[in-house]
Amino acid sequence: MSQFTIKYPIVSRYLTTPSKRRSGKIIPKVVFIVAHDTGNPNSTAKGNVSYYENSRDEMSASAHLFVDDKEIIECVPALTGTPEKAWHVFYNVTTDNQLYGVNANDAAIGVEYCYGSKINADEAYKRYVWVIAFICWKFNLDPQKAITGHCFLDPTRKTDPVTGLMQSRRTYEQLLRDVVAEYAECAGEQSLNTVTVVPPKTGKVKATVKLNIRSGSPSTRAAVVNVVPPGTVIDYTDVVQGDAVNGNTTWYKDTNGNFFWSGGVVAL
Ligand SMILES: [Zn+2]
Protein backbone atom coordinates (compact mmCIF):
# COMPACT_ATOMS: atom_id res chain seq x y z
CA MET A 1 0.00 0.00 0.00
CA SER A 2 1.19 3.49 -0.75
CA GLN A 3 1.97 6.13 1.83
CA PHE A 4 -0.51 8.68 3.11
CA THR A 5 0.61 12.15 4.14
CA ILE A 6 0.06 12.66 7.86
CA LYS A 7 -0.90 16.32 8.11
CA TYR A 8 -2.20 16.32 11.68
CA PRO A 9 -1.63 14.26 14.81
CA ILE A 10 -4.43 12.03 15.99
CA VAL A 11 -4.66 12.13 19.76
CA SER A 12 -5.95 8.93 21.33
CA ARG A 13 -7.95 9.52 24.49
CA TYR A 14 -9.88 6.30 24.80
CA LEU A 15 -13.02 6.04 26.86
CA THR A 16 -12.89 3.57 29.73
CA THR A 17 -13.96 0.09 28.70
CA PRO A 18 -16.13 -1.77 29.32
CA SER A 19 -18.74 0.95 29.56
CA LYS A 20 -22.02 1.78 27.89
CA ARG A 21 -20.33 4.08 25.43
CA ARG A 22 -17.35 1.80 24.73
CA SER A 23 -18.16 -1.90 24.75
CA GLY A 24 -14.77 -2.99 23.41
CA LYS A 25 -16.44 -5.04 20.66
CA ILE A 26 -14.27 -5.26 17.55
CA ILE A 27 -15.46 -4.16 14.09
CA PRO A 28 -14.85 -7.22 11.90
CA LYS A 29 -14.47 -5.15 8.72
CA VAL A 30 -14.70 -1.39 8.25
CA VAL A 31 -17.04 -0.85 5.28
CA PHE A 32 -17.95 2.85 5.36
CA ILE A 33 -17.78 6.16 7.18
CA VAL A 34 -20.59 8.20 8.72
CA ALA A 35 -20.03 11.95 8.80
CA HIS A 36 -21.63 13.60 11.83
CA ASP A 37 -21.58 16.93 13.57
CA THR A 38 -21.89 17.39 17.31
CA GLY A 39 -25.19 19.26 17.10
CA ASN A 40 -23.86 21.42 19.90
CA PRO A 41 -22.29 24.68 18.66
CA ASN A 42 -18.97 25.65 20.25
CA SER A 43 -18.49 22.32 21.98
CA THR A 44 -14.86 21.26 21.38
CA ALA A 45 -13.30 17.89 20.62
CA LYS A 46 -11.78 17.82 24.10
CA GLY A 47 -15.05 18.89 25.73
CA ASN A 48 -17.10 16.25 23.93
CA VAL A 49 -14.68 13.46 24.80
CA SER A 50 -14.56 14.52 28.46
CA TYR A 51 -18.36 14.54 28.53
CA TYR A 52 -18.45 11.07 26.99
CA GLU A 53 -15.98 9.76 29.55
CA ASN A 54 -17.81 11.32 32.48
CA SER A 55 -21.14 9.90 31.31
CA ARG A 56 -19.75 6.65 29.90
CA ASP A 57 -22.14 4.46 31.86
CA GLU A 58 -25.18 6.71 31.60
CA MET A 59 -25.70 6.59 27.84
CA SER A 60 -24.56 4.38 25.01
CA ALA A 61 -24.23 6.99 22.24
CA SER A 62 -20.65 7.32 21.01
CA ALA A 63 -18.45 8.00 18.01
CA HIS A 64 -14.84 7.28 17.13
CA LEU A 65 -13.41 10.70 16.41
CA PHE A 66 -14.07 14.34 17.29
CA VAL A 67 -12.54 17.06 15.17
CA ASP A 68 -12.26 20.77 15.96
CA ASP A 69 -9.93 23.57 14.86
CA LYS A 70 -7.12 22.43 17.15
CA GLU A 71 -7.34 18.68 17.60
CA ILE A 72 -8.42 15.35 16.20
CA ILE A 73 -9.24 13.16 19.18
CA GLU A 74 -10.01 9.46 18.93
CA CYS A 75 -12.06 8.19 21.87
CA VAL A 76 -13.04 4.79 20.49
CA PRO A 77 -10.19 3.03 18.63
CA ALA A 78 -10.37 3.33 14.83
CA LEU A 79 -7.15 4.76 13.39
CA THR A 80 -4.87 4.43 16.41
CA GLY A 81 -5.86 0.91 17.49
CA THR A 82 -7.89 -2.11 16.42
CA PRO A 83 -11.25 -0.63 15.35
CA GLU A 84 -14.03 -1.09 17.87
CA LYS A 85 -17.75 -0.53 17.52
CA ALA A 86 -19.20 2.86 18.46
CA TRP A 87 -22.91 3.64 18.76
CA HIS A 88 -23.52 6.52 16.37
CA VAL A 89 -26.55 5.46 14.27
CA PHE A 90 -29.72 3.83 15.61
CA TYR A 91 -29.81 0.12 14.87
CA ASN A 92 -33.45 0.32 13.74
CA VAL A 93 -32.49 2.65 10.87
CA THR A 94 -32.48 0.62 7.63
CA THR A 95 -30.84 2.95 5.12
CA ASP A 96 -27.34 1.81 6.13
CA ASN A 97 -28.31 -1.79 5.45
CA GLN A 98 -29.78 -0.82 2.07
CA LEU A 99 -26.73 1.16 1.03
CA TYR A 100 -23.92 -0.91 2.47
CA GLY A 101 -25.48 -4.23 3.49
CA VAL A 102 -24.64 -3.80 7.17
CA ASN A 103 -25.54 -1.74 10.24
CA ALA A 104 -23.44 1.41 10.66
CA ASN A 105 -22.58 0.57 14.25
CA ASP A 106 -21.14 -2.78 13.18
CA ALA A 107 -19.07 -1.58 10.26
CA ALA A 108 -18.71 2.20 10.08
CA ILE A 109 -16.35 4.74 11.58
CA GLY A 110 -18.25 7.73 13.02
CA VAL A 111 -16.56 11.12 12.75
CA GLU A 112 -17.92 14.18 14.57
CA TYR A 113 -17.40 17.72 13.30
CA CYS A 114 -17.20 20.48 15.92
CA TYR A 115 -18.44 23.90 14.82
CA GLY A 116 -19.66 27.23 16.10
CA SER A 117 -18.69 30.89 16.26
CA LYS A 118 -15.79 30.19 18.65
CA ILE A 119 -14.33 27.44 16.47
CA ASN A 120 -12.23 28.44 13.46
CA ALA A 121 -14.28 26.86 10.69
CA ASP A 122 -11.50 26.72 8.12
CA GLU A 123 -9.11 24.94 10.48
CA ALA A 124 -11.74 22.51 11.75
CA TYR A 125 -12.93 21.75 8.22
CA LYS A 126 -9.38 21.07 6.97
CA ARG A 127 -8.85 18.54 9.76
CA TYR A 128 -12.25 16.95 9.19
CA VAL A 129 -11.63 16.51 5.45
CA TRP A 130 -8.16 15.12 6.06
CA VAL A 131 -9.14 12.59 8.73
CA ILE A 132 -12.04 11.26 6.62
CA ALA A 133 -9.65 10.85 3.67
CA PHE A 134 -7.18 9.10 5.98
CA ILE A 135 -9.86 6.66 7.17
CA CYS A 136 -10.62 5.85 3.52
CA TRP A 137 -6.98 5.14 2.84
CA LYS A 138 -6.41 3.16 6.04
CA PHE A 139 -9.32 0.80 5.39
CA ASN A 140 -9.01 0.74 1.62
CA LEU A 141 -12.36 2.46 1.06
CA ASP A 142 -13.31 4.36 -2.08
CA PRO A 143 -13.81 7.99 -0.97
CA GLN A 144 -16.40 8.45 -3.72
CA LYS A 145 -18.63 5.70 -2.35
CA ALA A 146 -17.79 4.92 1.25
CA ILE A 147 -18.89 8.16 2.91
CA THR A 148 -22.40 8.99 3.99
CA GLY A 149 -23.95 11.51 6.35
CA HIS A 150 -26.02 10.76 9.43
CA CYS A 151 -28.90 12.79 7.97
CA PHE A 152 -29.06 10.51 4.92
CA LEU A 153 -29.24 7.39 7.12
CA ASP A 154 -31.76 8.81 9.60
CA PRO A 155 -33.50 11.67 7.77
CA THR A 156 -36.49 11.99 10.11
CA ARG A 157 -34.34 12.57 13.20
CA LYS A 158 -31.04 13.99 12.04
CA THR A 159 -29.65 16.92 10.07
CA ASP A 160 -25.94 16.32 10.67
CA PRO A 161 -23.41 16.95 9.27
CA VAL A 162 -25.26 19.31 6.91
CA THR A 163 -26.21 21.72 9.70
CA GLY A 164 -22.71 21.93 11.13
CA LEU A 165 -21.10 22.29 7.73
CA MET A 166 -23.60 25.00 6.81
CA GLN A 167 -22.51 27.00 9.84
CA SER A 168 -18.97 26.65 8.50
CA ARG A 169 -20.23 27.85 5.07
CA ARG A 170 -19.82 24.48 3.40
CA THR A 171 -22.20 22.01 1.82
CA TYR A 172 -22.18 18.25 2.13
CA GLU A 173 -21.42 17.97 -1.60
CA GLN A 174 -18.41 20.24 -1.06
CA LEU A 175 -17.22 17.94 1.73
CA LEU A 176 -17.37 14.90 -0.55
CA ARG A 177 -15.47 16.69 -3.31
CA ASP A 178 -12.84 17.93 -0.88
CA VAL A 179 -12.34 14.47 0.67
CA VAL A 180 -11.79 12.95 -2.77
CA ALA A 181 -9.26 15.66 -3.63
CA GLU A 182 -7.53 15.31 -0.23
CA TYR A 183 -7.30 11.56 -0.67
CA ALA A 184 -5.72 11.97 -4.09
CA GLU A 185 -3.25 14.54 -2.75
CA CYS A 186 -2.26 12.66 0.40
CA ALA A 187 -2.12 9.22 -1.22
CA GLY A 188 0.00 10.68 -4.02
CA GLU A 189 -2.45 9.56 -6.66
CA GLN A 190 -3.34 11.84 -9.51
CA SER A 191 -6.98 10.85 -9.29
CA LEU A 192 -8.92 7.71 -8.55
CA ASN A 193 -10.71 8.30 -11.82
CA THR A 194 -7.62 7.57 -13.85
CA VAL A 195 -8.88 4.00 -13.50
CA THR A 196 -11.82 4.23 -15.85
CA VAL A 197 -14.46 1.60 -15.51
CA VAL A 198 -16.76 1.55 -18.51
CA PRO A 199 -20.22 0.59 -17.30
CA PRO A 200 -22.64 -1.42 -19.45
CA LYS A 201 -24.81 0.74 -21.69
CA THR A 202 -28.05 -0.02 -19.86
CA GLY A 203 -28.81 -1.21 -16.36
CA LYS A 204 -29.68 -0.20 -12.83
CA VAL A 205 -27.78 1.94 -10.37
CA LYS A 206 -28.43 3.03 -6.80
CA ALA A 207 -27.92 6.57 -5.51
CA THR A 208 -25.36 6.86 -2.68
CA VAL A 209 -26.01 10.55 -2.08
CA LYS A 210 -28.85 13.01 -2.49
CA LEU A 211 -28.71 12.93 -6.28
CA ASN A 212 -29.63 15.73 -8.69
CA ILE A 213 -31.43 14.64 -11.84
CA ARG A 214 -30.84 17.18 -14.60
CA SER A 215 -32.69 17.88 -17.82
CA GLY A 216 -31.27 18.52 -21.25
CA SER A 217 -27.59 17.73 -20.91
CA PRO A 218 -25.02 15.96 -18.69
CA SER A 219 -23.95 19.20 -17.11
CA THR A 220 -23.82 20.68 -13.62
CA ARG A 221 -25.38 23.81 -15.17
CA ALA A 222 -28.42 21.94 -16.51
CA ALA A 223 -31.68 22.48 -14.63
CA VAL A 224 -32.38 20.12 -11.73
CA VAL A 225 -35.74 18.46 -12.41
CA ASN A 226 -35.68 16.07 -9.47
CA VAL A 227 -33.59 15.27 -6.38
CA VAL A 228 -33.68 11.66 -5.24
CA PRO A 229 -32.63 10.40 -1.80
CA PRO A 230 -29.76 7.96 -1.23
CA GLY A 231 -30.81 4.38 -1.85
CA THR A 232 -33.04 5.24 -4.82
CA VAL A 233 -32.72 2.68 -7.61
CA ILE A 234 -32.64 4.24 -11.09
CA ASP A 235 -32.83 2.55 -14.51
CA TYR A 236 -30.50 4.06 -17.07
CA THR A 237 -30.55 3.77 -20.84
CA ASP A 238 -27.20 5.27 -21.81
CA VAL A 239 -23.76 6.20 -20.49
CA VAL A 240 -22.41 9.50 -21.78
CA GLN A 241 -19.57 11.93 -21.20
CA GLY A 242 -20.36 15.34 -19.74
CA ASP A 243 -19.12 17.92 -17.27
CA ALA A 244 -16.26 16.78 -15.04
CA VAL A 245 -17.09 16.50 -11.33
CA ASN A 246 -14.04 15.59 -9.22
CA GLY A 247 -12.36 14.74 -12.53
CA ASN A 248 -15.07 12.20 -13.40
CA THR A 249 -16.86 12.98 -16.68
CA THR A 250 -19.17 9.96 -16.83
CA TRP A 251 -22.93 10.56 -16.59
CA TYR A 252 -25.97 8.36 -16.97
CA LYS A 253 -29.13 9.04 -18.98
CA ASP A 254 -32.32 7.86 -17.31
CA THR A 255 -35.47 6.46 -18.92
CA ASN A 256 -37.01 9.96 -19.03
CA GLY A 257 -34.06 11.31 -21.01
CA ASN A 258 -32.63 13.18 -18.00
CA PHE A 259 -29.06 12.96 -16.74
CA PHE A 260 -27.25 12.28 -13.45
CA TRP A 261 -23.56 12.08 -12.55
CA SER A 262 -22.01 8.61 -12.15
CA GLY A 263 -20.09 9.56 -9.00
CA GLY A 264 -23.33 9.75 -7.02
CA VAL A 265 -24.39 6.17 -7.66
CA VAL A 266 -23.18 2.59 -7.46
CA ALA A 267 -23.87 -0.07 -10.09
CA LEU A 268 -26.31 -2.82 -9.16
ZN1 LIG B 1 -24.87 12.15 14.01
Full-model pTM: 0.72
Ligand 1 geometric centre to CA of 166 (Å)? 15
Residues 6+ apart with CB under 8 A from 151: 158, 159, 160, 161, 162
Q: What is the pLDDT of residues 21-74, one digit of tens each?
A: 999 999 999 999 999 999 999 999 999 999 999 999 999 999 999 999 999 999
CA of 154 to the centre of ligand 1 (A): 9
% pLDDT > 90, the chain = 84
Ligand 1 centroid – CA 204 distance (Å)? 30
Encoded amino acid at 194, one letter: T
DSSP 224-262: EEEEE-TT-EEEEEEEEEEEEETTEEEEEEETTS-EEEG
**Domains of the chain by range and CATH?**
11-192 (3.40.80.10), 196-267 (2.30.30.40)
Q: What is the 3-state secondary structure (H, E, C) of 75-125?
A: CCCCCCCCCECCCCCCCCCCHHHHHHCCCHHHHEEEEEECCCCCCCHHHHH
Angle subtended at Cα 58 by Cα 53 and Cα 64, rounded to the nearest 5 degrees: 45
How many Å lie between the centroid of ligand 1 and the Cα of residue 87? 10
Residue 197 CA to ligand 1 centre (angstroms): 33
CA distance 87 to 80: 18
Q: In what order do the strands lie in the sheet with 11-12?
A: 11-12, 72-74, 65-67, 108-113, 32-37, 147-149
CA of 34 to the centre of ligand 1 (A): 8
pLDDT at 198: 55
pLDDT band at 258 (very low <50, low <70, confident <90, very high): very high
What is the distance in A from the centroid of ligand 1 to the CA of 226? Answer: 26
The CA distance from 117 to 172, in Å, is 19
89 C-alpha to center of ligand 1: Å?
A: 7
Quote the percentage of the chain above a pLDDT of 70: 95
